[in-house]
Amino acid sequence: MTTAMRAAVLERPGKFKVGAVDRPQPRLDEALIRIDRTGICGTDIHIFHGRYAAEFLPMIPGHEFTGRIAELGPHVKGWEIGQQVVVDMNIGCTTCYWCRRNEVLNCPDMQQMGINIDGAFAEYIAVPARLLIAAPENTPSEILALTEPLACVVRAARKSRVTFGQSVTVIGAGPIGNLHVQLLRNIGVAPIIVTDINQSRLLMAKESGADIAVPPHRLKEAVLTATQGRGTDMVIECVGDSTLYAEALEVMRKGGHLAAFGLTGPDDEIDINIVQMILQENSIKGSVAGIGEDMHDALTLLTHHRIKTSPFTGAEFPLDDIQTAFDTFADRPDDLKTQIVM
Ligand SMILES: [Zn+2]
Ligand SMILES: [Zn+2]
């Protein structure tokens, strides 16, 4: 006999159905999590509009979640019922070439909660116990639900090896852009220059720690002035708009690094002058998710108050109103992060 739970199933692009579904049963090595809350990610918005992972619908999206252990499979050791946790959403096969090299994100059989298997806009989720991360009991769930988006940002910084004293341009001051700014500030990056088309988001970027925040038409001049005409050591594209790469490269110094972060359309391409890339020894690197150590490090930064979380909390909808939360998302640019409360 299966028990029911409430969940938001995205039946087709643009249409959620909130209602009773079968509650997942934890397998031998799994934990059942009673979810407290789940953040809405830019990726969820892409899924909602049918621009990403549409082939997996109907499905329960949601991957930025936190909750408490409700049940443990018989083979799971070292965890307790009621313990507060966050969860690494990326399930590798554990045995392929990439999983063995700790490059799980390239595992051909990788499953991601809320992307290609059911996720966390629901009361419960069953997850492999090896992906659990213990969260301090006294850290509120609205902060813990920021672990996954911050982990993505941590990974980008790690992959690009950005370090203190370097200068960085951040393109896009949405939730991810603002998390980048805060992390870069922690690292000791200077100056941090941010651009966005939205004026209130530029103000938020300043509050997050940006030294300079300007609209796109003023970016090049601002960067060149701040860097003695060189351009910044690194540029992070957080919008996911391939047409912005040309200007990203324009504000990057010779020998600089471009971090491709914002998810573009599946067929979007950019023009790169290869000889310039070679002669200037420029580099470009993508990063797609927070995983493993990124999740642990993000949680550490959050629980030790290295990230100012107030800009990312407060916009909440109950699970029953998830359709409204998604329908109104674009009209609420000042809500940097929206969370669904179960
Ligand atoms: Zn996310
Ligand atoms: Zn694998």
pLDDT of 51 > 80? The answer is: yes
- The architecture that CATH gives domain 150-286 is 3-Layer(aba) Sandwich (3.40)
Measure the CA–CA gap between 106 and 109, rounded to whole angstroms.
9
Alpha-helix runs per DSSP H in 212-287:
219-226, 245-250, 274-280
Question: What is the C-alpha to C-alpha distance for residues 70 and 75, in angstroms, rounded to an integer?
Answer: 15
| Distance (Å) from CA 70 to ligand 2 centroid | 28
pTM, full prediction? 0.95
Q: What φ, ψ does residue 249 adopt, rounded to 5°?
A: -70, -30
Q: What are 171-205's pLDDT values in tens digits?
A: 999 999 999 999 999 999 999 999 999 999 999 99
Give the residue among 115, 131, 147 at the shortest CA–CA distance from 37.
147
Distance 104 CA to ligand 1 centre (A): 17
Q: Which value, in Å, is the radius of gyration of the alpha carbons in the chain? A: 20
Please identify, in words, the CATH class of the domain defined by 4-146+313-341: alpha beta
Question: What local confidence, expressed as pLDDT, does residue 288 receive?
Answer: 86
120 C-alpha to center of ligand 2: Å?
23
For ligand 2, the distance from its centroid to the CA atom of residue 30, given in whole angstroms, is 18
How far does residue 290's CA lie from ligand 1's centre (Å)? 9
Q: What tokens appear for 56 in the block?
A: 């997996």
Name the band, by pLDDT with cuts 50, 70 and 90, for residue 266. confident
The label of the residue with tokens 């993508």 reads 286
Is pLDDT at 169 greater than 90 in this prediction?
A: yes
Residues 6 or more apart in contact with residue 295 via CB below 8 angstroms = 86, 88, 133, 147, 148, 151
Dist. CA 148 → ligand 1 center (Å): 6
- Ligand 2 centroid to Cα of residue 131, in Å, is 14
Dump pLDDT digits (tens) for 209-259. Answer: 999 999 999 999 999 999 999 999 999 999 999 999 999 999 999 999 999
Report pLDDT for 131: 97
SS3 137: coil
Average pLDDT taken over every residue of the chain: 96
> Rounded to 5 degrees, what angle do the CA atoms 285, 291, 297 make?
100
Could you give the residue numbers annotated as active site? 43, 46
Predicted confidence at residue 1, as pLDDT, reads 58
Which residues in the chain belong to E strands, given as ranges?
Answer: 4-12, 15-22, 30-39, 64-72, 84-87, 90-91, 111-112, 124-128, 132-134, 168-171, 192-195, 212-214, 232-237, 252-260, 283-286, 315-318, 338-341
Query: What is residue 263's predicted lDDT score, i.e. its pLDDT?
Result: 85
Return d(Cα 329, Cα 225) in angstroms, integer: 36
- Write down the pLDDT at residue 334: 86
Cα of 87 from ligand 1 centre, angstroms: 12
CA of 222 from ligand 1 middle (Å) equals 31
Report which bound ligand comes closest to the CA of 155: 1
Please give all residues whose CB falls under 5 A of ion ligand 1, grouped by chain where several chains appear.
41, 64, 149
Which ligand places an atom closest to the C-alpha of 289?
A: 1
The ligand whose atoms approach the alpha carbon of 179 most closely is: 1
H-run or E-run covering 156: helix 147-160
Structure tokens at 300: 């550490």
> Does residue 143 register a pLDDT over 90?
yes
Query: What distance in angstroms lies between residue 102's CA and the mean position of ligand 2's atoms?
Result: 9
Per-residue pLDDT, 27: 97
Secondary structure of 292-328 as H, E, C letters: CHHHHHHHHHHHCCCCCCHHHCCEEEEHHHHHHHHHC
Q: How far is CA 219 from CA 196, 200, 212, in A?
A: 9, 17, 9
Which listed ligand is nearest to 295 at the C-alpha?
A: 1
**Does 8 have pLDDT greater than 70?**
yes
Tokens matching residue 110:
């990788």
Locate the domains of the chain by residue range.
4-146+313-341, 150-286
pLDDT at 2: 74
Q: Pick the ligand that lies closest to the CA of residue 96.
A: 2
From the CA of 41, which ligand is nearest? 1
Longest CA–CA span in the chain (Å) reads 70
What is the C-alpha separation between 151 and 104, in angstroms, rounded? 15
